[in-house]
Amino acid sequence: MYAEQIALKTFTYLEYGSKKLQSLVDICGMKHKTPEIMEVFKQMTLPWGNNFIKDKPLWLSGIADDHTPFEFSVAIDSDTPELRILCECQREGFNLLSNWRAGMKFNYWLMDNYGASLTRLNQVSDLFFPEDESAHFAMWHGACFLPNKKSEFKIYLNPQAQGKEQANDLIQEAFKRLGLKESWLAVEAILQEQDASKNELKYFSLDLSAKPESRVKIYWRHHDITADELEKMYSVARNYVPGDVTEFCRTIAGTTRLSKRPIFSCFSFIEGSASTPNTATIQIPLTLYATNDAIMRDRIHNYLVEKNLPSLIYDSSIKAVATRPLSNHSGIHSCISFRRDKLQQPRVTVYLALESHPYE
């Protein structure tokens, strides 16, 4: 345990998270949205957020390495930065079933307060009800905030909810129910080109919106994969630009063979243009790809500058979240992702761990 974290015991999860979140709200130019953002975060963390932070978490959440059940991220492109919250709703019992029920309650809060659409979720929710005790999560939620746009929400469900061996069949059925059979054919074509032992279906995501451009997303976790293999996989997506993935891996991870820790690929599909993925996103967990956060900060800063992206937003965000010297070790930089937006401009999202619990 390091000294900075001992002080966290005087905070509840809600207090500690709100303090860091407020700093990011200010950095991203959204002071006018402070009441809204804080209320969403409060609702996400009810009622467990009022518990004081202890050495051990209430539930072994997979959102962060230290099992903090929420994470903040900042998406940076050539336009306005987007502030995002990822959270695992929980309730007393702190198991898959109680967390599923807490997540469903939050869904209805979003419907009542933001007009969130649960239509597509209701079409597939029974498939993702956690029946396998080895499933690591039941339901996560994402909230996305921009200064001059309505807030948006998405849900993450577990393809392994009925067991890891059932994941492919489960996702196939979900795509079928959502009228995206062609999308699954595209997914199968991608899978057939890959070594099955390297790829694991990990997350299934829905935008909680009825807009035509609402996305269905699937995430793979890749074990010991190369940038060349990823380039081939991503080439089917509409936003693919040759060389992007290789450059990103080399610059951020310091290697083009991602073997130190499994990385993720996200493919998104939109109804009406479902035969190929609309976007492909690479997501690299960072803790093993640099010996400390200071090294990773420099890599990310230099990459943003090279891509003509506003590095000041990132620089300010990492300072606001850190509770210790970055040179101590790795951990604050949870993850980073890259994709091209609809105008083919680069978009980088930095995920920031709050390190609420001490590392063992």
Cβ–Cβ < 8 Å for 139, 89: yes
**Distances from the Cα of 330 to the Cαs of 14, 26, 154, 293, 295, in angstroms?**
24, 25, 29, 5, 9
Per-residue pLDDT band for 97 (boundaries 50, 70, 90) equals very high
pTM of the model: 0.94
Q: Is the pLDDT of residue 156 over 70?
A: yes
Tell the residue number behind the tokens 């809600």, with chain if given: 14
Q: Could you give the CA distance from residue 93 to residue 24 in angstroms, rounded to a whole number?
A: 32
Whether the predicted pLDDT of 275 surpasses 90: no
Q: Which two tokens stand for residue 124?
A: 């597939």
Q: By mean pLDDT, which of 2-6, 84-88, 159-163, 186-190 is the weakest? A: 2-6
Is the model more confident about 76 or about 196? 76
Give the tens place of pLDDT for each residue, 192-205: 777 778 889 999 99
User: Which tokens in the block code for residue 231?
Assistant: 């380039």
- d(CA 155, CA 308) in angstroms, rounded, equals 31
CA 11 to chain centre: 25
Residue written as token pair 């500690």: 16
How do residues 133-153 score in pLDDT, each as one tens digit?
889 999 999 999 999 999 999
Instruction: State which H helix or E strand residue 225 sits in.
Output: strand 225-226
What's the alpha-carbon Rg for the chain, to the nearest Å?
19
Residue recorded with tokens 């909230």: 143
Residue that has been written with the tokens 């940038």 in this structure:
227
Split at pLDDT 50, 70, 90, the class of 3 is very low
pLDDT per position as a tens digit, 279-330: 999 999 999 999 999 999 999 999 999 999 999 999 999 999 999 999 999 9
The model's pLDDT over 41-71, given as tens digits with 9 standing for 90+, comes to 999 999 999 999 987 888 999 999 999 999 9
Contacts of 334 (CB under 8 A, 6+ apart): 64, 65, 71, 285, 286, 287, 351, 352, 353
Measured between alpha carbons, how far is 46 from 68 in angstroms, rounded to an integer?
15
Is the pLDDT assigned to residue 8 strictly greater than 60? no
- With b for 16 or more beta-carbon neighbours within 10 A and e for fewer, the 181-204 pattern comes to eebbebbeebeeebeeeebbbbbb
Instruction: Name the average pLDDT for the chain.
Output: 93
Given a contact cutoff of 8 angstroms between Cβ atoms, the answer to whether 146 and 80 are in contact is yes
The residues, ordered by sequence, that sit 6+ positions from 310 with a Cβ below 8 Å of its Cβ are 76, 78, 81, 304
Spatial separation of the C-alpha atoms in residues 160 and 283, rounded to whole Å: 20
